[in-house]
Structure 1
């Protein structure tokens, strides 16, 4: 049964599960591997800041592929990971997950409005458009997170958020690219 926008309940559930699994995986890798390594190498970096924040890539890709629905798919897993971050000793503002997701959506909408021909659906945008969405989303995210966690706009900390978000985006994006290439290679092998 299709709803007004052409998605069945099953498709929404599948999209939600896919986005949630990737978000939780990316966040778990960041929380369990990147942050401890970062604290060993850069002892003066605040806990709320990751210099390789993989979930930003998942947020950007989810919002690009699913639009405003991507925000709805992301919210439960974002709050789950916020709770787990708090349990790991990383205090985050309760509004953080919502502002993270909203910042990516605003970045996406700005790029889409600035480049309407590139997002018409007739052609798939090139990687640089994904990068623009990630950059604008990261700028809005860094401003929001700096204000939430520091109660002021600290440009040095905001730059750290941008660096972490963009590095995380590029890692996720390259994993996606090579994942698709690997899938095509497997399809060719199966056809042979």
Structure 2
């Protein structure tokens, strides 16, 4: 696979855009409803969807495409939001766990993945769950001396719900685009 600057710009824009939407819309609601959750935990973490989809479609090259957005997101969290305890290693853990989750899902669905030319949201969700479990375990260990089952569960719920919402948004957007294109061709 060859490097594409266009892919890097699209992935970085999607990553930062999902992070901004999460902070402007989702985080205030979560703080009001669940004030006991730490600020580093989101119950709807949209960037997880961007990470999983990037690794799904770009393979290992997704790491290169995700690095600028991941680093900018980390800087925004630490310097913009005042989460000084959020270590850069958390970014590496998240990216690595998503890559491993997609690789594991590819292995589990190897025959299906190769034989199917169609996009499979089921495979994406399995990859997202596997990546989320690794992400939750790694981040829980990194950020808390004794990983709390509540924090671990919140990470998994946030990653999976974020991936699900990104998929729903993309599927809806593609359907609308298909309808508009079909109407324009008539």
Shared fold (TM-score, shorter chain, > 0.5): yes
Alignment of 1:93 with 2:87, yes or no, is yes
Shift, 1:56, TM fit: 0.4
Alignment of 1:46 with 2:38, yes or no, is yes
In 1, the alpha carbon distance for the partners of 2:115 and 2:141 equals 36
Shift, 1:125, TM fit: 4.6
The Cα offsets for residues 132-155 of structure 1, whole Å up to 9 and x where unpaired, read as: 000000000000110111133322
Aligned residues: 184
Match of residue 166 from structure 2: 172
Alignment of 1:146 with 2:148, yes or no, is no
81-90 vs 43-52, which deviates more? 81-90
Q: What are the equivalent positions in structure 2 for 1:64-103 lying under 5 Å apart?
A: 64-86=56-78, 87-91=80-84, 92-103=86-97
Task: Verify the 8 A CA contact 1:104 1:137 in the aligned structure 2.
Answer: yes
The Cα offsets for residues 98-129 of structure 1, whole Å up to 9 and x where unpaired, read as: 11111000001111112211221642252111
**Equivalent of 1:18 in 2, 5, 10:** 10
In 2, the alpha carbon distance for the partners of 1:180 and 1:103 equals 28
The Cα offsets for residues 63-90 of structure 1, whole Å up to 9 and x where unpaired, read as: 1010111111011111111111112122
**Equivalent of 2:54 in 59, 62, 65:** 62
In 2, the alpha carbon distance for the partners of 1:179 and 1:121 equals 26
Gaps of 5+ in 1: none
Shift, 1:95, TM fit: 0.7
Q: Could you say what the CA RMSD is over the residues aligned between the two structures, in angstroms?
A: 1.3
Instruction: Give the TM-score normalised by the residue count of structure 1.
Output: 0.91
32-41 vs 135-144, which deviates more? 32-41
**Equivalent of 1:188 in 170, 177, 182:** 182
Report runs of 4+ in structure 1 exceeding 4 Å deviation. Answer: none
In 2, the alpha carbon distance for the partners of 1:99 and 1:58 equals 15
Instruction: Give the TM-score normalised by the residue count of structure 2.
Output: 0.94
In 2, the alpha carbon distance for the partners of 1:166 and 1:59 equals 12
In 2, the alpha carbon distance for the partners of 1:169 and 1:82 equals 19
In 2, the alpha carbon distance for the partners of 1:155 and 1:44 equals 14
Aligned residue for 2:147, secondary structure, equals coil
CA change 1:167–1:67 in 2 (3 A) is same
